[in-house]
Structure 1
């Protein structure tokens, strides 16, 4: 891989501050990333209505299809962004996601709905593309706060979004959330063109046409086995075939990544301790958060008269009372990182966030019928999310050179998407093993099933906390050698 370094430090040397155009650019990026969060949240809130409409218990695939495509596309998008420009790929992903939302809005069958959600999964790379673009084109001293705000959201949006979701779903049905996404994403694509500059940093590389299908098919096969294993039987030929076949393909991908000149994911980057542990912690954060957000509407919107030990019988709009504190606390956590980043080590902030998530999920596991306490625990979990969301990109920015920002961030994004994709599958495996009753096409779960899902969320967060505490105290920037100097040790930073 050959890197164009003609303007690597152009923005590093720029000590300028905030301008009206820069503020508009940040607001636009925040709104785009909020569309990612809002889209995911709206699906969780609409999930009971969607499952009842299509009479299915395979709700996990509404979330998993979105995240699976996100996981598979991140390395390719990251590579293309380094080669052709981060803003260009950001716009492409945004517009394809809008087309996916259009397909979901018009879906007449459940598979068609899932296909639309899969295309919308291209919103996932927008997260790392955004903060990598900020790193390239914003003045240096504005980057930490801009990244923290961009990745944790603006409080007003995160607080109001649940009420918007409830109003749309209750008033116009679940299809309205997809139409909202179509309009919002199209408008934001235009605003990005008007407010945000393109990065001038380029890496000259070749696309890994061997690694892409090996990685994508291998991951998909394993996720299919995990999703349908409880129905097919864990020892059934179909389940074992998917598991073994997926593992073999992933093994082949690892082997190819070691010999291909420009692999889809450069495994040398993962040998960097900071990148590897940040990747694990980031994945755990997203996995824990996905599971937590999945079970909340199922629990809160269940009628209390069923006597299952949980349920407040709230509508989608009423659920906003539970969701809004989560968004506000997430915003607060992100701002705290922006304020403290120069005084408190990022590893401490990230670990603290994951431990807060662990505690909040365990407390929620023990309280299913007390509304006020549950809202407090939800807010606590959101605070942890905000601390982690803002810590992740700042860690990556500190750990790798500008030319590797998109590629390295895509590795983290793959872990985030994979943990978040597997989380709902495992959650529904637990829930579908604890069905209390089925009524008029709707399935309701036992109190024990709900408890186990919260415990799953806490366990995943705890794994991430351990990884975060293992991060090195001193972070040095990694620079990989280019194609003409791969064997030169002076061009590569030592592992932390």
Structure 2
């Protein structure tokens, strides 16, 4: 039997935790959700420093952007790779490894005084984002059914919460202390959270079968880096430049070769037959569109707040004030996540995804009458963030219902990657809009009111696209929970006396359909 076939058939159902919740379940949710928020916060840690970074590390503005780009590229690759490693070798083990690598990266960045070591450290910090799909899968494997959906909703939303909270926190620290303090704090946070995971979170009994697809991982990494780098740097390099087109075309060709390999190899990094199924494919496409929509707010609202009042539409806020005005959006998403879980349990994840995307679109349309004041900007950002929180909460449930438990971490890693592709695409498109539609303020060229309004329309349009894609998802019963977790069955030839070690986890239910 091939390794691929073994992955889906050589399993036995797990029958364990009871429907009741225990205090330890609550501790697992709190630790994993805090970890997800902290690791996603690292993605936006450098944004407030970018204007000053060339002076701080003695480099050019274009080189300084690598401190952000490296984190995003490595994070995109880490999601599916660490997901597959977690399915094979233990999700808690890979969680601790990702936290450890992120902490090492933070230490390198904290000790750096030039752009080279800083970029290396920031690249290693990108590994930390892999904790979110791993955490979602651990919750699916360990928590009772009544707790599972709301817990996964909180964990999935931590991706947006951390990103929203990173801006004001980083701005506050950067303005009141040496910039290295950002990374010393990141390192301390990594050590503390790693210790909590080691103490509170048990290892999942669920394992995939087969080996790790090294050629597939290499091809996927090369292809993703090529495409995402071309998309994220195309505006700076020129969309028609040989470097941009070469990376884009080369990346696409490598990804096609990767897909050809994955369809034929035993034990693939990502089972394309599973991801091509209607529920997974449509959820991932909706995730790309919603990731694109979410990023429009993250780009437009801070610019609107910081642009000078002399433009007639800018609100003239400082960097720190901008961060503080944006903070309620992240906090609102955090508070809404448990309610999103209840909505998913009552009405189903398809309805929640459609509703969330529709709310996001409505928030962008509200921006037109509300964008004339900081309070109005906070209001429409809160609506958008509420919609993102609901939609993001629904995605892991949709994925988990459609894939075998032993592929859960890899499938969620791919879904998180799809969101990243959406944000990268939005960054490229909106960057082009902002740079081509400008007005003059003194010696500077700044985005015009028309550019900001077009960006808002793009955010609304992509949210509606996500809602339309979700409409074609198959319907599930509202009270259904993700598919039962499974563990590898004992080998047929093993003597009965050797079976108890394998049978013990089989008696523990990780989830009930």
TM-score (norm 1): 0.86
Looking at structure 1, the residues matched to 173 and 288 of structure 2 have their Cα atoms a distance apart, in angstroms, of 31
Check conservation: 1:284, 1:461, Cα contact below 8 A: yes
TM-aligned CA distance change 1:125 to 1:154, over 3 Å: closer
**Do structure 1's residue 314 and structure 2's residue 310 form an aligned pair?**
no
1:77 equivalent among 82, 91, 102: 82
Q: Show the counterpart of 1:122.
A: 127
* Match in the other structure for 2:308: 303
C-alpha contact (below 8 Å) 1:124/1:413 kept by paired residues: no
Aligned to 1:370: 373
Aligned pair in 2 of structure 1 residues 142, 92: CA closer, same or farther (>3 Å)? same
Looking at structure 1, the residues matched to 234 and 39 of structure 2 have their Cα atoms a distance apart, in angstroms, of 29
- How many residues of Structure 1 are paired with residues of Structure 2 in the alignment? 477
Partner of 1:473: 475
Aligned to 1:292: 297
Which residue pairs with 1:493 in the alignment? none
Q: CA RMSD in A?
A: 3.3
1:288-309 deviation line (CA, Å, top 9, x unaligned) = 223321333233233334x363
| 1:149-188 mapped onto 2 (5 Å cutoff) | 149-153=154-158, 164-188=169-193
Which residue does the alignment assign to 1:486? none
State the match for 1:485 in structure 2: none
Superposed CA offset, 1:302-349 (max 9, x none): 3334x3631332232x22442232123212431222222232121111
Q: What are structure 1's unaligned runs of at least 5 residues? A: 483-496
In structure 2, the partner of 1:18 is 22
Deviation at 1:88, TM superposition (A): 0.3
Deviates more, 1:136-145 or 1:381-390: 136-145
Tell me which moved more, 131-140 or 328-337: 328-337
Instruction: Note if 1:445 corresponds to 2:450.
Output: no
3-state SS of 2:470 partner: helix
| Long gaps (5+) in structure 2 | 489-513
Describe the shift of the 1:201–1:107 C-alpha distance in structure 2 as closer, same or farther (beyond 3 A). Answer: same
CA pair 463-114 structure 1, distance change in 2 beyond 3 A: farther
1:105 maps to 2:110: yes
Partner of 1:261: 266
CA change 1:286–1:457 in 2 (3 A) is same
Q: Deviations over 1:10-42 (max 9, x none)?
A: 43x5223121x3322222112111113333344
Give the conservation status (yes or no) of the 8 Å contact 1:60–1:428.
no
CA contact (8 A) 2:103 2:125 kept: yes
2:143 corresponding residue in structure 1: 138
Give the structure 2 partner of residue 208 of structure 1: 213
CA distance in 1 between partners of 2:20 and 2:185 (Å)? 36
CA distance in structure 1 between the partners assigned to 2:389 and 2:100 by the alignment = 27
The 1:198–1:426 alpha-carbon spacing in structure 2 relative to 1, beyond 3 Å, is same
SS at match of 1:204: coil
Is 1:30–1:154's contact at 8 Å kept on the other side of the alignment? no
Distance 1:113 1:460, change over 3 A: farther
Q: TM-score, normalised by structure 2?
A: 0.83
Q: Deviations over 1:95-142 (max 9, x none)?
A: 111222233333434454343322211122111100100111222322
Determine if contact 1:154/1:331 at 8 Å carries over to the other structure.
no
